[in-house]
Structure 1
Amino acid sequence: MQNVLPAPGKTGTNTLNIRTLHWAGFSGIVVLVLVTSGIPLPSVLVVALGVLGIGILVLSWLGIGRLAAALPERRLHWIAVSWCAPLLAARPLFSGDIHSYLAQGVIAAKGFDTYLVGPAEALGPDSPVTLAVSHYWRDTPAPYGPAFVAMARSIAHIAGENLVPTVLLHRLAGLIGIALMAWAIPRLARRVGVPPSIALWLAVLNPLVLWHIVAGVHNDGIMVGLMVAGLELVLMGASRTGAARPALITAGVIAVSAAANIKIVAVAGLLFVGVDLFRRATPAGRVAVALGLPAGFAAVTVAISLGSGLGFGWVRVLSGVSGQVHSWMAPTNELGFLVGGIGKIFGLDLTDGAIKVFSLIGAILGLAVGARLLWLTYREKLHPLYAAGLTFAAMLVLGPVVQPWYLLWTVALLAVSLTTGKARWILAGVSAVFAVMLPPANGGVVSLILGYLIAVVLLGGTLVLLKRKGHLPEITLRKSRT
């Protein structure tokens, strides 16, 4: 097994390097928060400086990754806290989904069925809350499970229709999810033999967490946090005997089921861990696993659906709502756009039909991949956490909707199950690309192109200057066999 460790005699230098990278990343976040705060600046400058801040953070994060194996977990926790802190005061960035969360909470608080009506019908097309929602979603019902809608409703009872307290309360839920990740990720990593500090760096300090859970206020944070915490509890219980075993497994099933009642995809984690438990159980134990885990998930789902008063309408809208908008990042949609473009040459409108066909093909392939990974897990060819992470990756490649924050589903599980440095750096590289993919502010095409070009020039020039002055952190590494 290969671990990346600091070279002898370089401890003080590496400590300085970590401190430099830590506060460089912090400064990049502060720049991003300031330029998007509403200060009157030309849009091209907002994009340029915002992307510059994003780039500084991403490069700092990658630099810390080179030394992560030698860092104590508490140091990474401190870096995560300090990086999250400035973003608590930021405007919602990279996405307007928080406006949909606000609308869904207000709709539910007013007693309407969020799974039947959208913001325009429930609140009126001229409501300020409706007008703040993207026009793509003003007529669509909530695509989320009852656990999230019930939370959004509770927040609406507290914050009303005011955006600022709504953002802060949803960010609090996201921070709870991050805290659950910080607790579970090192423990899951140890079970697979992955250095916990590296897993923390890759999953919790990941720029996608900062940009899309804290700044972007997406509910994927609390969903992923509950999922990984639940999986850890299930695996912890499986390794115990006596009364602690069923208690921990039950607690884990409840947590993962709650995550799935936010976004149903979380149930995949429980499915793979369940298959692994089934494989390792005695004949009587297999009956308990085969009946107990599905029954536990069903019981939690029924309790949340009925206890919240929201019912089971969310099951009806699981398919179709999010797919109403053709995500340009989804490979299946890209193929549809390609066929549609060719069709236009011949005067044919093929785009929608082609996207439906490729989406269907993607769904079939996704099911086949998932089934194959389940079989390999059962045959003990793959660790269940690794197989679940690959399943989430397949969802991204073959699904009809892809967003940068969706990558966190697979990052959380692959961070604790990838056992080679090369594989981790590939995942880190993909995360870095996704982290700079969305601009920090809206603007015309010209502003976006010029803004990104200016940011690249500024960042590249700064790096060259620092290199010449000898101010760049020197990261000296050696490989040690253990």
Structure 2
Amino acid sequence: MTAPGAALSRYAGLVGAVLLAVAGYLGGALPDAPLGVTPASIWRAPDGPATLTCWLIGTVLLVGAWWSLRDGAPSTRWAYVTAGLWALPLLVAPSLGSRDVYSYACQGWTYAHGVDPYAVGAAAAGCPWLDTVAPIWRDTPAPYGPVFVLLAALAVSLGGGLTGTIVALRVIAVAGLLLAALCLPALARAAGVPAGGEPGVPAGWAAGVPARRAVWLALAGPLIGVHLVAGAHNDAVMLGLLLCGLLVAIRRPGWPPALLLAGALLGLAVTVKASAVVVVPFAALAAVRGRHTVRALLRDGGWLAGGLLGAVLVTSAASGLGLGWVGGLTHSGDSEQWTSPPTAVGFVIDYVGALVDRDPHAVPAVRAVALLLLAGVLVVLWWRTWQTLRRLHEVAGPATTAPRVALHGAALALVATVVLSPVFHPWYATWPLALLAITAARTTWFVVPVAAVAFLALPDGTNLARFTKAPGALAMTALLLIVLARALRRRPQTPTPTPTPTPGDDHPG
């Protein structure tokens, strides 16, 4: 895009971010905002029309500006500056898109006052801010790892009251994003190869993607500012630690101290949010120096696994909570919404059963099948990545594309986790986004869903999926069938080459 066009996108996105912040002050997830509202009741509120108008226009502007530069910002620096500019209004806005930050605050308060947050919910613990927590989560134990519970307790200690705690939690989330931002250019460089390419590897594909595209897609997206900055979701911390651990493993493969550190960082990511664990087997592949043999994998992957296990055990023991957090993970599926494909399929089966006077209660069964399918998909993805790395070594010797292959496998593992999990919230789409931004040759297939889910939540945390259950479930099931049919008809293809960057581009490598 030309300089004037890029400038237009920058300021259109800034206007959008400002409108979203205004919508937050008018009707965001404020502590005293009414709970259990509907879109219609929001509209009837005194500031309802202004709230929804600002929210809709702001989201359209932010999504449109991000989409217009999906092939890359003018430069990496330009992308950083613009992403930061868009984040500023949202940094000082009330919580947007969900009320999870209040659950974090109560979980931190619970631990800080000597109660096990994995044994009781916020209500039983006596959290003084209980009225701010969404009703569905008031009696639910914490579903997060001990590192995040410790961070939440630190936020409570530093913040004192509720407002100070929310500010501290937002600072922690922004710190996670800054860590991710520091790692992105280096990961983009590691995922490319020198200009000469590699024997036996398609030149365009081996070249990797420009850092300016990776930074833009990963940091300027509409979900980042609304959900990770304003919403202060702990996914930001998980992503920062995850990318940092991957970078260390890729930078110094085969060196035990570096692999121990990489494993420890990945372990910390897992003890913030357990979904990070699906990346670990691919990180082990990235950690191998030289030829990818079983012996090399056991040697180098073993060091990484040791660092991860050590981090998990040390943080679990240091918190005094042990491994009780593992049991808390079972409550993350208490919410049922059609935005999770397995849940949508379960809804449709129940609707069909109702037509013949049956009540199959299919949602739990379909979710269980989806988790088994996820396990199989992850194994297949890992095996294909392993075989690709072995073939690269046979054709090209010590393949410098190995980091990209491993990172792309990790990205697809996160995609599978998001698609097949029992629950989906809009900010879950940020999990694979950064790795796809670094490794995917084509962008449309993942940029379109990210743009679409930006419209799912209202500023006060109301999820529109709650009010579109039947049509949403039918539409999601139909989409799954279409995707499955196309996948079955599609023949295996060679990876699509990435367009060669133009001269003067800040291409990595």
TM tier, shorter chain?
A: 0.7 to 0.9
Q: Equivalent residue for 1:231?
A: 246
1:169, CA displacement in angstroms?
1.1
Q: Equivalent residue for 1:425?
A: 444
**CA 1:443/1:425 → structure 2, altered by over 3 Å: closer, same or farther?**
closer
Q: Equivalent residue for 2:188?
A: 189
1:32, CA displacement in angstroms?
1.5
Q: Equivalent residue for 2:422?
A: 400
1:286, CA displacement in angstroms?
3.8
* 1:30 counterpart = 2:18: yes
Q: Distance in 1 between matches of 2:152 and 2:462?
A: 30
* 1:46 counterpart = 2:51: yes
Correspondence for 1:360 among 368, 375, 383: 368
1:344, CA displacement in angstroms?
3.0
Q: Equivalent residue for 2:384?
A: 376
Residues 230, 256 of structure 1: 8 Å contact kept: yes
**CA 1:237/1:480 → structure 2, altered by over 3 Å: closer, same or farther?**
closer
**CA 1:286/1:397 → structure 2, altered by over 3 Å: closer, same or farther?**
closer
* 1:64 counterpart = 2:86: no
Q: Distance in 1 between matches of 2:297 and 2:136?
A: 46
1:56, CA displacement in angstroms?
0.7
Correspondence for 2:111 among 108, 113, 135: 108
Q: Distance in 2 between matches of 1:443 and 1:214?
A: 18
Q: Equivalent residue for 1:203?
A: 218
Residues 231, 252 of structure 1: 8 Å contact kept: yes
Q: Equivalent residue for 1:468?
A: none
1:93, CA displacement in angstroms?
0.6
Q: Distance in 2 between matches of 1:108 and 1:443?
A: 28
Residue type of the alignment partner of 1:274: A
1:105, CA displacement in angstroms?
0.5
Q: Equivalent residue for 1:330?
A: 340
Deviates more, 1:279-288 or 1:380-389: 279-288
Report sequence identity in percent.
Answer: 31
Q: Equivalent residue for 1:458?
A: none
Q: Distance in 1 between matches of 2:226 and 2:501?
A: 34
Residues 276, 377 of structure 1: 8 Å contact kept: no
**CA 1:41/1:338 → structure 2, altered by over 3 Å: closer, same or farther?**
same
Residue type of the alignment partner of 2:5: N
**CA 1:171/1:442 → structure 2, altered by over 3 Å: closer, same or farther?**
closer
1:64, CA displacement in angstroms?
2.8
Residues 249, 286 of structure 2: 8 Å contact kept: no
Give 3-state SS (helix, strand or coil) of 2:388's partner: coil
Give CA deviations for 1:293-344 in whole Å, capped at 9, x if unaligned. Answer: 22221111111111122221112222x2111221331111111111222333
1:361, CA displacement in angstroms?
1.1
Give 3-state SS (helix, strand or coil) of 2:136's partner: coil
Residues 238, 249 of structure 1: 8 Å contact kept: yes
* 1:436 counterpart = 2:442: no
Give CA deviations for 1:87-143 in whole Å, capped at 9, x if unaligned. Answer: 1111101101011001100100110011100011111xxx54122211111111000
Residues 72, 214 of structure 2: 8 Å contact kept: no
Q: Equivalent residue for 2:171?
A: 172
Give CA deviations for 1:445-471 in whole Å, capped at 9, x if unaligned. Answer: 9xx99xxxxxxxxxxxxxxxxxxxxxx
Tell me which stretches of 4 or more aligned residues in structure 1 moved more than 4 Å: 281-285, 442-445, 478-482
* 1:339 counterpart = 2:349: yes
Residues 276, 378 of structure 1: 8 Å contact kept: no
Q: Distance in 2 between matches of 1:158 and 1:288?
A: 43
Q: Distance in 2 between matches of 1:222 and 1:67?
A: 25
Correspondence for 2:315 among 300, 304, 315: 304
Give 3-state SS (helix, strand or coil) of 1:112's partner: coil
Give CA deviations for 1:263-294 in whole Å, capped at 9, x if unaligned. Answer: 11212222112034348357764442243222
Q: Distance in 2 between matches of 1:413 and 1:65?
A: 15
Q: Distance in 1 between matches of 2:174 and 2:444?
A: 26
Residues 263, 305 of structure 2: 8 Å contact kept: no
Q: Equivalent residue for 1:472?
A: none
Residues 118, 325 of structure 2: 8 Å contact kept: yes
Residues 260, 306 of structure 2: 8 Å contact kept: no
Residues 260, 303 of structure 2: 8 Å contact kept: no
Residues 250, 296 of structure 1: 8 Å contact kept: yes
Give CA deviations for 1:407-444 in whole Å, capped at 9, x if unaligned. Answer: 1111111111112xxx2122211211111222224679
Residue type of the alignment partner of 1:434: V
1:62, CA displacement in angstroms?
1.5
Q: Distance in 1 between matches of 2:417 and 2:159?
A: 35
Q: Distance in 1 between matches of 2:187 and 2:339?
A: 30
1:348, CA displacement in angstroms?
3.5
Residues 100, 137 of structure 1: 8 Å contact kept: yes
Residue type of the alignment partner of 2:458: P
* 1:21 counterpart = 2:9: yes
Q: Equivalent residue for 1:250?
A: 260
Residues 47, 441 of structure 1: 8 Å contact kept: no
1:44, CA displacement in angstroms?
3.0
1:67, CA displacement in angstroms?
5.0
- TM-score, structure 2 normalization: 0.78
Residues 237, 247 of structure 1: 8 Å contact kept: no
Gaps of 5+ in 1: 1-5, 7-13, 240-244, 450-477
Q: Distance in 1 between matches of 2:500 and 2:278?
A: 36
Q: Which has the higher contact order (CA 8 A, sep 6+)?
A: 1
Deviates more, 1:201-210 or 1:270-279: 270-279
**CA 1:373/1:31 → structure 2, altered by over 3 Å: closer, same or farther?**
same
Deviates more, 1:388-397 or 1:136-145: 388-397
Residue type of the alignment partner of 1:344: A
* 1:409 counterpart = 2:431: yes
Residues 199, 416 of structure 1: 8 Å contact kept: yes
Q: Distance in 1 between matches of 2:130 and 2:461?
A: 20
**CA 1:67/1:363 → structure 2, altered by over 3 Å: closer, same or farther?**
closer
Deviates more, 1:287-296 or 1:367-376: 287-296
